[in-house]
């Protein structure tokens, strides 16, 4: 991995480099995505079936687009019993964590005849996108569905690309069943996002679409925002390790590569105060790449977006971490909890050398659907909140309104909204 001294210039260049991976930088695909969205909106099922055959090489019809109970049972027969046990253990951890996020309605009544409050309601129907392609991600199935279940969403619709055999990957299907998906449809890509956003004869329209996907999926979600809600526009995966000379270079290298193996656009960054650690980590990454099955992808990822930055002080390293605002941030320093208190921007923070990033990906419980491309400065991980909406509650008695009605009328008239003022005034005509 390349080793550079951390200064304002290298940090600026790095941030500009990382932003090139953002879905907002792929405008050349937007026209193609919009064409797919428009066709699905107009032709509905027919367009979905046509695009599925074109892009996935599979003929899907109204009769087989919905995964059947028989297919689910077939999938269970193909999944290793040991893996199923692990999925169920992970699911319990995810459910337990997200239950602590739950919000409830509240009301505040006062003796003067006023009642204010907030009504919390779960979304009625949600669409979950699960990628296919290069790898299978049953963990993402759990992470997307479980917070929706905890929130109380009535209907969870999952879409995922079929394999060449016209079936959904067994592990993905089992994960969906275990997590509580109400229906699974064999469709992926921008056409799946369009189907969820607008509805077709086979696939119902949803209120919100969540889940990661490729650039076409990301741009499709961006384009349908407003017709439906979305969680975020996910970019490539990324990790930043913040370390001093107490860190184990072998652990650091292994953790960096755990994200670099996702794809060639993934980012792996070490920010350290130790030149010695920087050199050792670089050496360890080279050793690991020779042994790992996805070594070719890892090498391209590191060549494109892998960096080791050496800072003069820990404060400078922390400042850089906050500027980069990585999806995953690992802290391997002498006092990681103290460093954690100074972190403002990160999707998920992993503290200490035994809190490796894959712990969060699979098992610990916090959600692994996280903000990327610096959006951790203003976005949060997927949570129960994403599946709830809130309504304000306002109730005033006649006596309570009488006390303040002239204030409201004056405020409305100051904005020249006389009908607003009149709406209050008519209730007290001839009573003052």
Catalytic residues: 327-328
Instruction: Tell me which DSSP letter residue 20 carries.
Output: T
Kindly list the strands in the beta sheet with 388-396, ordered across the sheet, starting from the edge strand earlier in the chain.
Answer: 106-109, 114-122, 388-396
Q: What residues contact residue 186 under an 8 Å CB cut-off, 6+ apart?
A: 52, 58, 60, 64, 65, 66, 67, 160, 161, 162, 166, 167, 168
DSSP string, 325-349: T-SEEEEESSSHHHHHTT----SEE
Element holding 219 (H helix, E strand): helix 215-224
Measuring CA to CA, how many Å separate 149 from each of 42, 183, 225, 354, 426?
32, 14, 22, 30, 46
133 sits in the region (left: phi over 0; alpha: psi -120 to 50; else beta) called left
Contact 263, 236 (CB under 8 A): yes
Gyration radius of the chain over CA positions? 26
C-alpha torsion 239→244→245→250, nearest 10: -10
CA distance 274 to 294: 29
Contact 94, 143 (CB under 8 A): yes
Contact 172, 161 (CB under 8 A): no
CA distance 399 to 417: 24
Helix, strand, coil abundance in the chain, percent, nearest 5: 50, 15, 35
Partnered with residue 309 across adjacent β-strands are 4, 271
C-beta atoms surrounding 131 within 10 Å: 20
DSSP string, 124-138: SEEEEE---TT---H
Q: What residues contact residue 421 under an 8 Å CB cut-off, 6+ apart?
A: 408, 409, 410, 412, 413
Contact 209, 196 (CB under 8 A): yes
Element holding 264 (H helix, E strand): none
CA distance 340 to 330: 10
């Amino acid at each position: 991995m390349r080793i550079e001294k951390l200064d304002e210039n290298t940090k600026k260049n790095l941030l500009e480099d990382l932003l090139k991976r953002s879905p907002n930088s792929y405008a050349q695909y937007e026209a193609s995505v919009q064409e797919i969205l428009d066709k699905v909106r107009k032709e509905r099922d027919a367009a979905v079936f046509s695009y599925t055959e074109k892009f996935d090489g599979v003929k899907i019809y109204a009769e087989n687009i919905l995964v059947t109970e028989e297919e689910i049972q077939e999938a269970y027969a193909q999944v290793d019993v040991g893996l199923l046990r692990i999925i169920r253990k992970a699911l319990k951890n995810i459910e337990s964590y997200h239950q602590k996020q739950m919000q409830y309605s509240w009301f505040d009544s006062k003796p003067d005849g006023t009642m204010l409050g907030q009504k919390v309601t779960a979304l009625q129907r949600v669409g979950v996108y699960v990628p296919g392609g290069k790898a299978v991600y049953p963990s993402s199935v759990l992470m997307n569905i479980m917070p929706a279940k905890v929130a109380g969403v009535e209907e969870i619709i999952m879409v995922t690309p079929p394999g060449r055999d016209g079936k959904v990957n067994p592990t993905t299907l089992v994960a969906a069943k275990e997590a509580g998906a109400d229906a699974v449809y064999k469709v992926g890509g921008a056409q799946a996002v369009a189907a969820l956003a607008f509805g077709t004869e086979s696939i119902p329209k949803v209120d919100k679409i969540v889940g990661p996907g490729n650039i076409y999926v990301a741009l499709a979600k961006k384009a349908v925002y407003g017709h439906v809600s979305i969680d975020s526009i996910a970019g490539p995966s990324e990790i930043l390790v913040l370390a001093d000379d107490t860190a184990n270079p072998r652990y650091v290298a292994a953790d960096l590569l755990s994200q670099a193996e996702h794809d060639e656009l993934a980012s792996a960054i070490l920010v350290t105060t130790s030149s010695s650690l920087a050199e050792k980590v670089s050496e360890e990454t080279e050793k690991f790449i020779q042994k790992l099955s996805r070594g070719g992808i890892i090498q391209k990822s590191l060549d494109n977006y892998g960096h080791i930055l050496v800072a003069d002080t820990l404060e400078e390293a922390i400042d850089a971490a906050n500027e980069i605002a990585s999806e995953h941030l690992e802290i391997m320093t002498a006092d990681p909890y103290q460093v954690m208190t100074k972190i403002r921007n990160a999707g998920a923070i992993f503290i200490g050398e035994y809190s490796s990033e894959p712990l969060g990906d699979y098992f610990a419980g916090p959600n692994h659907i996280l903000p990327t491309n610096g959006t951790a400065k203003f976005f949060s991980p997927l949570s129960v909140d994403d599946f709830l909406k809130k309504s304000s509650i306002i109730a005033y008695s006649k006596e309570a309104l009488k006390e303040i009605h002239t204030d409201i009328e004056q405020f409305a008239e100051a904005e020249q909204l006389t009908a607003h003022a009149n709406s209050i005034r008519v209730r007290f005509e001839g009573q003052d």
